[in-house]
Amino acid sequence: MSTAADLDPAVVDLTGVAPWAGTDWAGIEAATRGLDAPIAVIDLRALATNAHAMLARAGGVPIRVASKSIRVRSVLEAVLALPGYHGVLAYTLGEAIWLAEHGIRDIVVGYPTVDLGALRRLTADPALAAEITLMVDSVDHLDAVDVAIRPSARPPIRVAIDLDSSWRAPLLGHIGVRRSPIHAPMEAFELAAAIVRRPGFRLVGMMGYEAQIAGAGNAPIGKPLTGILMRGIQRMSAAELHERRAAAVRAVRTIAELEFVNGGGTGSLESTASDASVTELAAGSGLFAPALFDNYAHFRHAPAAFFALAVVRRPTPDIATLMGGGWIASGPHGADRSPTPVHPSGLRFLPREGAGEVQTPVTGPPARDLAIGDRVWFRHTKAGELSEHVDAFVVVDGARAVGTAPTYRGEGKVFL
């Protein structure tokens, strides 16, 4: 047996790839035969299909790739090579610097930073400062940069304002995630004015992530009434946000020449693209299409990333126990944060054990036929978090392994 590390690095190229026609489990098994578990796979045909489907959903609005949802440099590079994609939405400044040092351009850090070491690296290099934009929602974030290095000793730092895109619903209260305190157009204008007055900074953009639309499934499996409610909430939230975001952008543009206004997420590409105040979209999870995205009514992408675990025990005739498996997704605790067994079809977790750190028992009709050493395949609930558990993905095209794609972790990097 061998590991994924024994394969040559793949040249990930999403042009000219055969269209995805369903997950070919026989092909994936053949392509990975002889490799030890745990093993992670990227289905190249599904990845390419998803990349083009997202462009179609965006309706001509450029997409900035959310790196948090990928965490594989060669995949980021392959997606950015496709017309319609440009730039990266990074999740930490350290990651953005590393990507820029490897040739990726036009990087926006999607979250504020107080990492003084990374700020000193950014401000010490004019080339990095020209490629990387920091996110702010308070003058305190400007203060953090000035603490790292005084304005007179650095190049101007590019910054963007994070506009809170949650919905303050009349009856339901706060709908969305707790991000920026900048909600009203006047709040955005006042922060913009403070940035413009501040030496050592350039206000170049705005962004907002409508998590209640982009990241919340509107057709949850087995919950039709919840789906109807969610779709109604999302329609009302989108209408409110489009009006408020447009007003905020107009206000800020009176004092700053914005290069971009970023919005969206995989789940809201169509909705956000219809907002004329938005100049670009952000998306990444839809490229891998994790299990979370099975719960949307208006799109369905191809599952493109999987992982397999080995059977190591048979405690009873109808239970097979796997090595590892507790790769639980972030977010509200619940069964939907566990990985989903997908092949052989029909397996399920034991309710009193679930997916465990060292062992994961599964049951269901196929469990009776699993032997020691067989493999069970899963989908992660979220996209990029899978990359934190493996050093590399095996890139599979049909029944052929074309090589490996190292994750950030496989390149020796853990940013968060």
Domain count, the chain: 2
151 lies in the same domain as 270: yes
280 lies in the same domain as 315: no
32 lies in the same domain as 60: no
Residue finishing a domain among 287, 312, 340: 287
259 lies in the same domain as 126: yes
59 lies in the same domain as 143: yes
Q: Would residue 295 count as lying in a domain?
A: no
C-alpha 254: how far from chain center = 33
353 lies in the same domain as 238: no
How far is it, in rounded angstroms, from Cα 395 to Cα 72? 12
| C-alpha closest to that of 39 among 393, 337, 344 | 393
For residue 349, the domain's CATH number is 2.40.37.20
Task: Say whether 230 sits in a helix, a strand or coil.
Answer: helix
How far is it, in rounded angstroms, from Cα 128 to Cα 120? 11
136 and 142 in contact (C-beta within 8 Å)? yes
Confidence bin at 5 (pLDDT 50/70/90): low
Burial of 178 (0-12, 13-18, 19+ CB in 10 A): exposed
Q: Would residue 415 count as lying in a domain?
A: no
Residue finishing a domain among 287, 311, 336: 287
325 lies in the same domain as 364: yes
Residue finishing a domain among 287, 308, 325: 287
32 lies in the same domain as 81: no
Q: Would residue 239 count as lying in a domain?
A: yes
pLDDT at position 1 is 56
What confidence tens digit (pLDDT) does each residue in 308-348 have? 999 999 999 999 999 999 999 898 888 888 999 999 999 99
Q: Would residue 293 count as lying in a domain?
A: no
How far is it, in rounded angstroms, from Cα 354 to Cα 200? 52
39 lies in the same domain as 66: no
C-alpha 95: how far from chain center = 14
Domain assignment of residue 244, given as a range: 46-287
How many other C-beta atoms can be found within 10 angstroms of the C-beta atom of residue 108?
Answer: 25
How far is it, in rounded angstroms, from Cα 359 to Cα 342? 18
Q: Would residue 184 count as lying in a domain?
A: yes
**Backbone phi, then psi, for 344, in 5-degree steps?**
-65, 145
Which is it for strands 39-43 and 375-379: parallel, antiparallel or unpaired? Answer: unpaired
| pTM of the complete model | 0.93
Locate all alpha helices (DSSP H) within 149-223, ordered by sequence: 185-197, 211-214
379 and 306 in contact (C-beta within 8 Å)? yes
For residue 168, the domain's CATH number is 3.20.20.10
Q: Would residue 150 count as lying in a domain?
A: yes
Residues 6+ apart with CB under 8 A from 340: 291, 378, 379, 381
Q: Is the peptide bond preceding residue 38 cis, with omega within 30 degrees of 0?
A: yes
Which is it for strands 107-109 and 348-349: parallel, antiparallel or unpaired? Answer: unpaired
8 lies in the same domain as 85: no
Measured CA distances, 355 to 86, 127, 223, 319 (Å)? 37, 45, 23, 14
What confidence tens digit (pLDDT) does each residue in 137-195 have? 999 999 999 999 999 999 999 999 999 998 898 888 888 899 999 999 999 999 999 99
What confidence tens digit (pLDDT) does each residue in 44-79 have? 999 999 999 999 999 999 999 999 999 999 999 999
What confidence tens digit (pLDDT) does each residue in 247-265 have? 999 999 999 999 999 999 9
| Residues forming beta bridges with residue 41, ordered by sequence position | 306, 394
187 lies in the same domain as 252: yes
